[in-house]
Each structure stands twice: as C-alpha cells, then as structure tokens.
Structure 1
Amino acid sequence: MPNASVKTKHSRRARRRRRVDPARNELVSSSLESAQQCLLNQDYGTAFVHYLLVLNLAPVFKDLAQESFRFTLFKWTEELDSVGRIQDLFDCYEQAMELFPADEVILNSMGEHLFRMGFRDEAAGHFHKALKLRPDYPEARENFYRVANWLVERWHFLMLNDHGRNRKYQQAIQKAVESGCSTVLDIGTGTGILGMCAKKAGAAEVYACELSKTMYELACEVVSANGMGDSIKILHMKSLEMEVPKDIPHRVSLVVTETVDAGLFGEGIIESLIHAWHHLLLPPQNEFGEQSATGRVIPSGATVFGMAVECLEIRRHHRLCVSEVGGLSMAAAGKLHSPVSCSSEPDDSMEPYTTERLSRLPGGYKALTEPFTALNIDFNNVQELEGLSSREVQELRLPVTQAGELDALAVWFQLHLDEESSLSTGPQEDTCWEQAIYPVHNTEGFVLRPGDELVVEVSCRDAFLRLCSVAALRDGQKILLDRRADPLQSASPVSNPSPEAELCSALACLQTDQSQTRDVCVLECAEMALLNNHYYHQSFSAALSRLLSRLKASRPDSAKHGGGLFYVLDVSEGFSLLSLIAASQGRVKAYSSVEKSGQQEALKRLARSAGIPEQRLEFWLNHMEDEQGMLKRPSREELWSAIILDCVETCGLIRQKLMEKASLSPFKCRPLTPRCLLEDGGQIFPQKIVVYGMLVESEVLLLESAVQGRQPTLGFNIAPFINQFTVPVHVFLDFSMLECRHLSESVELFVLDLMDTNANYTHREVRVQATSAGQITAVPFWYQIHLDQDASVSTLSQNSHWKQAAVVLQQPVDVRAGEWVRLAVKLHKSTISIAAHIEDTHGPME
C-alpha cells in the first residue's frame, strides 16, 4: 500500500513574495539617518529611540547597525545611570536584548549594572549566558568569577568535602525517616543534598525551598540529574512565605535544615522554625506521647560556647592601636572603631559579630578564660523558640585564667542532629565553619589578670545571639568596660575597696570620659587595619616629602615667591589619611576622595588639630557628578603634583580599573595636551607594582575551591554542577597561616609600571625551579608596592591590611626537586591567570 502521506513535488504552494511598502522603507531610511545625526550631536536618548524603530521595522539592518546600536545603548544608559533613572536604564537593556538575545557584550554590560545595583543572582545569569555564547570573552569571565564568590560561597565546597559532616546528617535523616517521618521539608536546600538523603532513606514525599535563584536552579539540576526530579518538589521562595495547601499539600512530619551561620542564629533559623511549627510542621509529640502523627526538626538543638581571647590580629581590625599616623596625632579623631559592636546597648546599624577561623589567625590568640556555656536551645520546642528574644539578659562571671588584654569573645556551638549525633564548630575542630567573633572596643590598655572575673552578658535580642563584656571584678571592685555606662557609676564597690581598687576605679572613670565619646566614626575592618599600618603611612609620608623637595627645587623663583601650591589628589577607595598627610607637609592643597560625611568630619577634626588651614583640604567627590570625572586638572591653570592611586583590593586582587586610571595620568606630554594631568616632575603613587608568587602544594586550597574526588557525595552526583562555580583565584587568603608545602622560592611574576603604562605587557612566561618534590596545586601571589625608588611596602607583611590571593591550578602538576617549571602568567585588567607545565627535554608536559 502506498504511503498516503507522501505528496507530489508539485503540490507545495509557491511562497508568496513580500510586498514592498514604500512608506515603511522611507520611515526606516529617515530614522536611520536621524539616529546617525543624533549620534554626531551626542543626543544618545533620541538616537536610541530611532535605532529601536529601525531594527524593529527592518531586522535586516541588525548586522549592519549592531556596533552603533551597542555604542548608543551604553552611552544612553550611562546618562540614565548618572541621573538615577534606574528603571529606564533596565528597560533599555531589556529592549536591546529582545533585539540581540545572543549579544554577549550587551549581556555582560547588563550584568555589570545589575551587580552594581545589588542584584547578584540576576547578574550572574547574564555573565553566565555571555560566557556560554563566547567562552573566551575575558570581561564576562572576570565578572563571573567575581560574582560567583558571592553566589556560591566557598563554604559550600568545604561543606560538601566534609565527609564526616555529610555522613552524620545522612544517618540522622535516615533514622528519622525509618522511625515514621515520611514527609520531609528541606529549608534552605542549597545543592539539594539533604532532601535527596531523605528521599533515598525512603521518605514518601520530599519538598525543598531555596531563596537564592542561583542555588535554586543548581538544586533543580542536581536533583534531576540524580533521578529525583519528579519526586522532590523544589520551591524558589522563603520558607516564611510557604503555605499549606498552596505550596505543599499538607503539613510535613520532618524539617531538615542547616540554615546556621558561625553565630548560630544569623541566617534566621529561629524565625523560620517558629513559622514552620505554626504552619508547615505537624505538632510535636506531647508530654504523654499520645499523638500518632508528630513533627520534628533536624537538627534538634544546639549548645553555644564561648571564651574571652587576646588577639592582636582581631584588635587591629576593630579599634585604633596607634597614637599617630603618618606624623598626625590621632587624639582629635574621636572614637574610631569597626562596624561590629557587642555593646550592652545594641545599635541596629552595627553587626553584633564578625567571623574568623581562630586556628588560622596570624600571631594566634590567647585564651583568657576557660570555655563557658552561653546558651542551650531546643529546636523541637516552639515555646522555647518563641521566648528566645524575650529571655532575660543572663549575666555570667568568668574566672580569668591568663593575663592579657581583652580583645574579643569567641563563640562556637555544638549542633545536635539528634539524641546520638552532633557536629562541633569549635576552634580546634576540622570543620567547614568559622567562629563568631564579638570584638571589644573599649578596653585600651586595660589588662585582665588571673584572679579577676570577667562579667559577660548574654541575650538574644531580635533572635541574634549577643554577647557583651560589661565589667571586670578585681579585689572586690567592679570596673566597667562599656563606655556607654555612666562614668559616675563606673566603679562600684563589691566589698571594701583597696588602694589598688581605687586606682582601677580612676582608670575606669578615665576610660568612660564623655569627651572621648562625642565624636564616633565607624570604619570598615580593613580601613581600621590600614590606619594601624604604621609602616605604610610613614613610607608614604617620606616618599611624598622627597617628591615635594624635588619639585620645590625645580620650580623657578621658588625661594622668592614661595613656589606656589602643590596639588595632590588621593583616589583611594574608602577612608584614607593620605590626603591629610600630604596637606600637612606645607604649601600643599590636597583633594580627598572620602565620601561619607562622618569620615569627612573626622578628617576635618584631624586637620584642625594639625593646624592645617581649612582651604588646604577639599573633598573632591562633593563636586563630582560621578567618579569618572575625578581624574582631571585641579583647575584650568594648574596640574597635579601627585596622584595617589589605590592599587590593591583588601581581598588580594589588583583593583579594578587601576590601569585605566593610571593611563589617564601620563607624565610625559606637552603641557597644553588636555590629557596631561601631572606637572613636569610630578608622580603617581605608587610608581610601580611587582607581583610575586610561589609554587605550593595545599589540600586546603583544593577543598575550598571545588568538590574533590571521583566518588559521588553520599552517592549523589553533585560535583559537576556546583563545580561550574569554581573560581580559579582564591581571595582573602592569609599566606602566613595557609596549610601548605612550599615547593619553590618566591619568584617575580609580573611588573606593572603606573608611571609609564605604555611599558606594560599583558602576558609573560616565568621559569621557576622546584626546591622540593610534590604536587603543585596553587600559586599564591602578593605585591611589592613601590612608592618611589627608595620606599616600598609589601602586602605580605604581618601588619598589612591586605590579604593575599592564589591561583588554583585546574589540574595539579607533579614536580621533582630541581625540575624547572614554566609559568604562563596573564593579566587581564585585574584578573591574574597562571598555567604551569614542567620543562622537559622531550617537550612540555601538562
């Protein structure tokens, strides 16, 4: 029987020709001409509208007009951004992406705007799409690496590599399911691993929720790849927004979660569990055990521990430790401290704690007390959870066991998964968690000693765990440590005071002097550490003095007319004293890029104290519409004597757009050239940056960079999906405390000349000889910042406010002692990439 579906070749209808529309063609032609004319007139908004019309009516022009359209889009959105028309900006990008959905440059630019506005999830999606379209697109790759550190934090990799932790959670979930918990909700599912554990254990129904769009999409991929896509329902929402039966059909019998941070409650576990008990979970078993269907939570509870510590590394990041900076007395600066405060009167604008891995702090720490129990909490007791915030403040008295200056309270916890199993985040444990640090700002110079008692208050205001060191008891005298206290009450007798106690009382009164607390300036932790970097500021002051001396000598009639003013511009990010140090050197008008009003006031106070005339210090950004206008002349007639560039980010990377700023400040140019900003003999600080590195073998860097090993995690295929977010450059590294084996001496990797950007290069090959046998897993790198020919500072020094970074090799390289390794080093903007291979007589071996 013939195939009835086959048609003869003549049965297909001829395609109808499109009719020519003269009016349409005329409109397209005139709009295209208008768009080009508007571009010439720099009327980018009107040009953009004309291009939209042309490309929607005549898509055939897309290839021809793509470059001009991009240029118009970027110029117009810059204008919209500068006047705060953010919604219009995003609307323009949406229209552009409808026309050019596969344009990686537009996608990347949209992602940059989203990231600056704080929409990190959405930004990552655009960078990822741009990379899929063009894997060798360096701008998108650099942006994706930066945003990936925000979206998939490095502790995800550590957690998945923590086999002991994973097994304990799996065993607790399996026991709960086997005991009758057949319906499960995984709150904050992350990669979906706990929900999959429940399904594998035999749960009839499993639900999960995840707020992060990136992690939600990742969890969906992972669950589907493991054959559970139809049996685990994942919701992209907060658990607090979930309802029965709208989102899940009925209440569940088990909630599993790991929404805990170093301070236990910081990720909102209390609020989410209270909501779950009221709306999503079956009621708990009553005291008579009569209910047949009951709910429970894994983990079942936690015990919080703490201890008082002395630690110079913590101290220098949270309070001022020096009396002068670069020759400026800091007495008039007011109170300077970090935005982390555990005061007895909490301030909602302050963070109650920060986090550190105590075992890796440079210089270590000293325990001043024995560990103490700060809190016990039962996650299966909803009344206890609800009463947490209203608990009375608990006062603990801790015997001091070692003499030392109190710098912080360190806190960790034991997470009880069930009656038999628990996880500890203690400083001596090999764990993926850091410890919570409650820094103390108000005990300068006061040393605790054995026999004292430290009075600590513990509370849970707003469901945050808050610890505060309020006083020390010594020889029957109570010495208040919190400056917010009334100085008249700062020393209250507990028993008969001794002469020594009276001295302590006087000290306490001195510490709570109200004149010291009128002016408070809050700085970021890295800014505090920078202020405490005495050597850096002294080196800069000396280098600037040498420059000014040379310029004075070179100016005609300098002795007769005073030589005029020297103009210095400080383009440092955040709080910087460099402009003030410059202004203190006489005949200098300094321009600061400090923006925050409180920080500007602190600089003004210091200027008045140092006798610097008010007109000699100007806040440059107060007169700029945006930072792009910063690098221009101080006035029509004058040039800069010095421009100070902030070169290295605290995390250990070269600051973005550094070289663009340096290239705008050429020192060899004709005086009338508009781009010439430096006077003859003027200087950029620093003059150059030398990048150094070293070959190391480090399992820690591997564990923090990607899920390791060939075996699936608990039998689940997770690594290929989360490892998409592996970032080859590991930041915020402290090389002095890194667990690693050094396989070579340090070697110069790269040189950046900021005074002559034309002399720079983008890639270089470096030969380094292995001093020990091992496996090269990473190349940590740091910077020697040369202020001038005579002074330099290292970001590797112990008192540096900078951290280091490391390139983690995609494939570790085995090396023998004495072998030569060739490193291919590339620098694109602020991103360093390094590839390594062994030199061999038979050719290179990857």
Structure 2
Amino acid sequence: MKVFCGRVNPTTGAVDWVEEDENYDYHQEIARSSYADMLHDKDRNEKYYHGIRAAVRRVKERGEEAVVLDIGTGTGLLSMMAVTAGADYCYAIEVFKPMADAAVKIVQTNGFSDKIKVINKHSTEVTVGPGGDMVRRANILITELFDTELIGEGALPSYEHAQRNLMQERWEAVPHRATVYAQLVESHRLWSWNKLFPIQLDCRTIQPPPEMQSCPGAPSVCDVQLSQLNPGDFTPLSDIMVIFRVDFSQHISSSAASHPVNFTSATNGAAQVVLSWWDIDMDPEGTINCSMKPSWLYPRLHPVPWRDHWMQCVYFLPEEKKVAQGEELCLTAHQDDYCIWYSLTKPSTEEDSPAFSEHPACRCGAHINWNRARFGELNDQSRMEKYKKALKKILTPSSVCLCVSDGSLLPLLAHSIGAARVYTMESSSMSQHLMEKLFQTNHLKEAIQIVQKSPDKVTAADLGDSKVSALIGEPFFTTSLLPWHNLYFWYSRSALSGNMTKDCTVLPLSASLYVLAVEFRDLWRIRSPCRSCEGFDVSIMDEMIKKSLDFRESQEAEPHPLWEYPCRALSDPTKVMTFDFRETVPTDDVKTEGSVNLVRPGMCHGVVLWMEYQLTEDISVSTGLLQVDDETGDCQWYPHSKQGIYFLSSLLDLRPGSSHSHSSVTYQLTFHPQLGDLRMSFTPDS
C-alpha cells in the first residue's frame, strides 16, 4: 500500500504530492516526535514520580485501592512509575497505535503486564463496566496532555470527560494544578515578527497598508525558547502576573472563559507583546513544582532544565498601545478549548464582567502569507541596506528589472533607485493581492507591475515587449523549508532565459552551501538514544526511533532556528557547493565529497547547513552562521531563517580524555537538478 505526502519541489516552487511507503507517516511521527526529548527530561520525570508517589500514598492512607488512569501514556513511563509507587492497577490510554504497541512491549519488558492495561483509544472513547475497557473507575488521574500553551492539545475537554465518566467521586490528580503566568512588555525585536515596519528609502518612506497595521495577526501562538532571548531585547511594562490556575482535582469546564488581571504599569512604553509560560504543582501543597519559566528567572548558577516539548509563549496584542508609568490597566487572557489570547484594556469594575474577545484571525493576508521569521527578515534594516547597496551597483535609469521572490521588498528598492521599469513575479494570488495593497498604499501600483505566471509561461507581452536587463531576487519563497529550497530562483532564471538580454545582470550572482560540524548544548537530546529512563527499560523506544531515523526522509537534514539552540563550532565553516545563477541549471547531477576537520574539542552531534548569497562580487548575505567566538567556539546564527541540521548516527567524542585525538567528518553531497533535490551523507571518521 502506498500513501501520498506533500514535499517541496524546488524545481517548481510548489508542494508536490509524492508517493511514499505506507509506513511513511508512522516513521515521520516517531522520528520528528519529542519522545526522546521527554525521556531525557530528568526534571520532568523526577517531578512526576514524586507527585505520583505522594498521590498513591494519599489514596492508601484513606484505606482505598489505588486505581490509576494515565491519559496519553506514550511509552507507559508514568504508569510504570505508579505501579512502582504502590498503585494496585493502571489503565494506560494511548491513541497513537504505534506508541500504544510500543507501550505494551515496554510494560511487558519491565514486568508490569499484570498491573498495567494499555488501551489504544482516545480517552473520550473509553468505556467503564463489565465488558468495557476499564472494569472500574479510577481514583488517581495522571496526565501529560500539555503543550507549550498548556491547553493546545485539548487538555481541558479530555479532563472534563475523564472526570465525569472515568473517575470516582473523589480522586487525586497528578499534576494537581497548573498556573499560567504572563508579563506585558515592549519589544522592537518581537514586534518585528508581527508587523511590517515603515521602510526608509533614499527619497521616501514606504508605509505598510493600514489594514496590515490594525490586523490582529496570526491566530496561533508563537512558541519560542525565551531563554535565548536577551533580556535587553524587551522592556517589562508589568510585573510577572498569575493569569489563571487550573485545579485538576476539581471538575473542569472546557467552556470559553476570560481571566482579567488588573495591574499598574511599571514604566512608560508601548504595550506590544505578552510573554507567557506555566508551571505545574504535582501535589496539593505545591512542594513538587515543575516550571517552564525562562532561564533568566532562575538564580545565578542554578541548573536550568532544558526541554523542547514545552517552551514559552509569545502573544502579540492586536494593536500597539501607549501606556504611562503608574497607569491602571487590565490584561485579560481569553481561552477556549485549545487556545489562549490576550487583550489590554482599562480596568473594569467588580460589577462588570470582562467582555469575551473573539479569537484573533488575520484579516490583511500578510500573517497568512508570511511567517514570523519572514516578518523579521523584511524588517531587518541591515539586511535591507545590503540589498540597496547591491542594487545601486547594478541598476541604471534604463534597467528593465524583474524580481523573482515571494512578497519581496526588492521591487520597491529597485523603483526608488530609478530603474526604468520594475516587474515582480508572485507565485500565488494571495501574495499578489498582498503586494497590490502595499503598492497601492504607496501610490506605486502603476510603477511596479505584478506578473502572476509561472516563469516558463512569461511572454514578452507580460514585460511590455521588453527584455529583462536585471533579474533580481532575495531569494525567498513561502514554500521553502530548507535553505536549498530557495534554489527555485535558479530554475526560474533558467526558464526566463528567453526573456533576458544577453548581458542581463543576475542578483544574486550565486549561492554557496556551507557546512559546519557542531556540538549542541541541548538540541542533541531530541535525537539521542535512551535505553533506560528512571530505572525502566525503554530500549524498545530507542529501537523505534533508530528505525525511523534510518527511513529515507529522516536521513535528510531537518530545519531548526539555531538562534534558539546554542551550539559550538567544532570545525571551520566549509563551502561545499556553489550554484552559479549566471548560468542555467545543469542537466547532470552535481556531486562533491570531502571532509571537514574538527579543530576544537567537544562532542560532535551533527552538521549544520546553510546558504550564503553573493549579491555582487563584494556584497554577500548569509542565512546561517554570522560569527564564531574564537575562544569558546560559540556560534551566532542569523535569526530570521531556519538552518538545516543533519544529526550524526554515531557521535564523535573529542573531549579531553577521550580516545580520539584528531578527527574529521566526511561528506558526500549530490544535487539532482531534475528533482531539485539535495541528497547528503555525513560520516564521522576517527
């Protein structure tokens, strides 16, 4: 049996449906999951165990048998903890069949089959009674249904159903309660992920369309490793506030609700962003606490737990609001079954109930067309200055300029510099509509013409019966996931050859693929084997992950924003392949092989890949590495692009005292022009 899966095709800039093996989705779910991350989260695991042991003790002290309901059991780890803590029986529910099958094997391997029943159903489908999934109701409810936003995985409806249908009249809950915290801040950096800023050109300022500035923005939360945000990147306008609590030992309602909190503004500023996180108390007394707070809230030298399955939240207010120091304000969290969002108002009286705000949804199209990183990239003034400088070198008053990139500001730069005619090619009607509004707002609708055709369909008539003398691009395309997917620009350039003058200038001139061997501080955990966890044998899980990582798709690089994930350079950055945009795409495969020497001690976890674009002979822009500290090897990464990460299947230990003294990583790379695909292999050598 075959299945069809969407994959980016750089030759067309589109997402194609590709026939894959029937186990494709299964392997991807396992390989890309956070199971390894959670198994390595020692802080989480220990807190859960202490909370479970305390709950079992409280039930036993009442003279009752301890019957556990574990919703979302995953590997079965929490159920095994419960039995070890003295629980009499556990019902472990897991809806994802491959994980449920794994849990059965793990439970059996650890000798708990007689006390743990794994149920492969959604918890709302579980039945109780003779012939049912559960013989009797439970009196201990253990769950790990949380995401970065706390409720985004449908925790509240699942709790509501379980408490009403699967639990006894009195039950213990682990965790016992959750608390959501928030802080209102002003942040130019974070706000640049949500709004397009005015663009200063030589002779005028480009203004964003009014509907873009008043748009509530994207409906989804922005989850991020706030620990990697410099505290100097934001100004607190409030103290850290408790927004609301959820007591899991009481009946929960999943109905929509609002949670207003009155506060006094700490300083003058522009209210733009809400930073938020949560913690969970595993026991009623709150002595066993697991917190998601960012690292800069921990005492100096205090160990900070790292986890990628739970991060922190950035929420954007619908509009920026000026606030004054000492001003009385009300920050309200609005919540439905799956989402949280915020509004800022004047305080309401006790008689007034807070008005429920509709869930924000993009009305302008920009937040649908551009992701957070793209907003940041468009607002990156230093990057824009490089493009402006490069365009001034190549454009003349007679230039016929065509831009090939999605939602790019380069046509505006080209027009301001004085090109005779400017055209821009948009790959979708949504992108076309967005750019039309931008041009119209700035009275440039007649000056910049939009061509909404694929490059191979463009005719001379589309270009005013002229030929292009300057083909430009960032390049950026909304379908791109990995750095080399933007090579669609190269394919477009090749398709447009008949519409270009013989001496047509192409910007960028070329793209170069770079690689760097690195040691991750923490990111390695998401792919690291874990044969034992808290004393339990989970090697089956290790084998499943390894098997999935051996699957074809999982052997390729995967995208990650490395500014969030600190790492050290163990090698020098190495240019491994160059794509010359002045020439058309070749017909034959392009192959390269070699090795990168590891010049610093450390544990080599993987290889980072990124593109650097040569705009002109002396101006380049990088989508990856910006700087390496000579002493420590700490890397600084471009924050508005994701880099490609290839995790090594076997690690190289070059730390002091290890058996390896000199080592390298061998690479083999093949670019398949017919597919637009980059296949790669990296192998550590000792």
Asked if the contact 2:70/2:141 (under 8 Å) is kept, the reply is yes
> How has the CA–CA distance of structure 1 residues 169 and 730 changed in structure 2, closer, same or farther, with 3 Å as cutoff?
farther
Counterpart for residue 225 of structure 2: 357
What residue in structure 1 maps to residue 319 of structure 2? 442
Report the 3-state secondary structure (helix = DSSP H, G, I; strand = E; otherwise coil) of the residue aligned with 1:173: helix
2:416 paired with 1:531: no
Contact 1:743/1:776 (<8 A) preserved: yes
- Asked if the contact 1:650–1:801 (Cα under 8 Å) also holds between the matched residues in 2, the reply is no
Aligned partners of 2:268, 2:196: CA distance in 1, in Å? Answer: 21
Secondary structure class of the residue paired with 1:631: helix
Task: List alignment gaps of at least 5 residues for structure 2.
Answer: 10-16, 296-303, 349-354, 627-636
The answer to whether structure 1 residue 783 and structure 2 residue 589 are counterparts is no
Correspondence for 2:163: 277
2:40 alignment partner, one of 154, 161, 180? 161
Which one of 417, 428, 432 corresponds to residue 595 of structure 1? 428
Query: Which residue matches 1:89?
Result: none
For residues 473 and 192 of structure 2, what CA distance do their matches in structure 1 show? Answer: 24
Partner amino acid, structure 2, of 1:810: S
Instruction: Give 1:376 deviation, angstroms.
Output: 2.2
SS in 2 for 1:318: coil
> Deviation at 1:821?
2.6
The aligned counterpart of 2:450 is 618
Equivalent pair of 1:308/1:369 in contact (CA under 8 Å): yes
Corresponding residue to 1:608 among 440, 445, 451: 440
Q: Distance in 2 between matches of 1:686 and 1:181?
A: 71
The CA distance in 2 between the partners of 1:438 and 1:379, in whole Å, is 25
Tell me, yes or no, if structure 1 residue 792 matches structure 2 residue 676.
no
Assess if the C-alpha contact under 8 Å between 1:254 and 1:296 holds in 2. Answer: yes
Instruction: Give aligned pairs, total.
Output: 616
**1:191 and 2:89 equivalent?**
no
Quick check: 2:185–2:237 contact (8 Å CA) kept in 1? Answer: yes
Q: Does 1:823 align with 2:666?
A: yes
The whole-number CA distance in structure 1 between the counterparts of 2:597 and 2:329 is: 54
| CA pair 201-830 structure 1, distance change in 2 beyond 3 A | farther
1:666 aligns with 2:499: no
Q: Tell me if 1:719 matches 2:570.
A: no
Structure-2 residue corresponding to 1:329? 205
How many angstroms does 1:257 deviate by?
Answer: 0.8
Q: Contact 1:579–1:592 (CA<8 Å) still a contact in 2?
A: no
For residue 608 of structure 1, what is the amino acid of its counterpart? Q
Paired with 1:237 and 1:184, the residues of 2 have a C-alpha distance of 16
Q: Separation in 2 of the partners of 1:423 and 1:537? A: 43
Change in Cα spacing, 1:749 to 1:405, as seen in structure 2 (3 Å) is farther
Query: Could you state the TM-score of these two structures normalised by the residue count of structure 1?
Result: 0.63
TM-fit CA distance, 1:418 = 1.8
The Cα shift of 1:273 comes to 0.9
Matches of 1:634 and 1:539, distance apart in 2: 31
* Aligned mate of 1:425, from 292, 296, 300: 292
Q: Tell me the distance in 2 between the aligned counterparts of 1:340 and 1:247.
A: 45
**Matched-pair contact (CA < 8 Å) for 1:210–1:235:** yes
Per-residue deviation at 1:713?
4.6
Of the structure 1 ranges 208-217 and 368-377, higher mean CA displacement relative to structure 2 is found in 208-217
Residue 345 of structure 1 corresponds to none
Q: 1:456 aligns with which of 310, 325, 331?
A: 331
Separation of aligned partners in 1, 2:586 and 2:254: 66
Letter in 1 for 2:669: K
Q: Distance in 1 between matches of 2:336 and 2:492?
A: 51
Instruction: Give the 5 Å matches for 1:279-358.
Output: 279-284=165-170, 295-324=171-200, 329-331=205-207, 333-336=209-212, 350-351=219-220, 353-358=221-226
Q: Which amino acid aligns with 1:276?
A: A
Compared with structure 1, are the counterparts of its residues 586 and 740 closer, same or farther at alpha carbon in structure 2 (3 Å cutoff)? Answer: closer
SS at match of 1:549: coil
Mean CA deviation greater in 219-228 or 692-701: 219-228
SS of 1:758's equivalent in the other structure is: coil
Residues 651 and 732 in structure 1, CA contact (< 8 A), matched pair in contact too? no
**Greater strand percent: which structure?**
2
Deviation at 1:681, TM superposition (A): 2.6
For 1:804, the equivalent position in structure 2 comes to 643
Alignment partners' CA distance in 2, 1:335 and 1:324: 20
- Inter-CA distance 197–529: structure 2 relative to 1 (3 Å threshold): same
Residues in 1 aligned to 2:382 and 2:591: alpha-carbon distance in whole angstroms: 32
TM-aligned CA distance change 1:764 to 1:460, over 3 Å = same
Q: How far does the alpha carbon of each residue in 1:592-614 deviate from its partner, in whole angstroms, 9 at most, with x for none?
A: 325354x5444223323444354
Q: 1:521 to 1:649 in 2, by over 3 A?
A: closer
In the alignment, is residue 701 of structure 1 matched against residue 527 of structure 2? Answer: no
| Structure 2 CA distance for partners of 1:412 and 1:736, relative to 1, 3 Å | closer
Amino acid at match of 1:458: A
Partner of 2:512: 690
Look up the match of 1:559: none
Give the aligned CA root-mean-square deviation in angstroms: 4.3
Amino acid of the structure 1 residue aligned with 2:575: E
Q: 2:125 aligned with 1:241, yes or no? A: yes
Amino acid at match of 1:653: L
* In structure 1, distance between residues paired with 2:202 and 2:503: 24
Instruction: Show the counterpart of 2:279.
Output: 414
Specify whether residues 390 and 313 from structure 1 end up closer, same or farther in structure 2 by C-alpha distance, changes over 3 A only. closer
Q: Does residue 749 in structure 1 map to residue 576 in structure 2? A: yes
Residue segments in structure 1 that go unaligned for 5+ positions in a row:
1-96, 98-106, 117-122, 131-143, 285-294, 342-348, 474-481, 486-516, 553-565, 622-628, 668-673, 839-844
**Change in CA separation of 1:224 and 1:570 when aligned onto 2, cut-off 3 Å:** farther
For residues 156 and 684 of structure 1, the distance between their equivalents in structure 2, rounded to whole angstroms, comes to 46
1:410–1:664: structure 2 CA closer, same or farther, 3 Å change rule? Answer: closer
Q: 2:483 aligns with which of 651, 654, 665?
A: 654
Please give the per-residue CA displacement for 1:297-325, whole angstroms capped at 9, x wherever unaligned.
Answer: 22111122222234443121112334447
Secondary structure at 2:579 match in 1: strand
Shift of 1:166: 0.9
Question: Which structure has more RCO (C-alpha within 8 Å, separation ≥ 6)?
Answer: 2
CA 678–370 in structure 1, closer or farther in 2 if over 3 Å, else same: same
Q: Match for residue 172 of structure 1?
A: 51
| 1:203-237 deviation per Cα after TM superposition (whole angstroms, max 9, x unaligned) | 44433333445544544554455455676444444
Shift of 1:426: 0.9
Match of 1:478 in 2: none
Residue identity in the other structure for 1:415? I
What are the residue-to-residue correspondences of 1:40-55 with 2, within 5 Å? none
SS at match of 2:319: coil
CA deviation after TM superposition for structure 1 residue 700, in Å: 0.9
Aligned with 1:262: secondary structure? coil
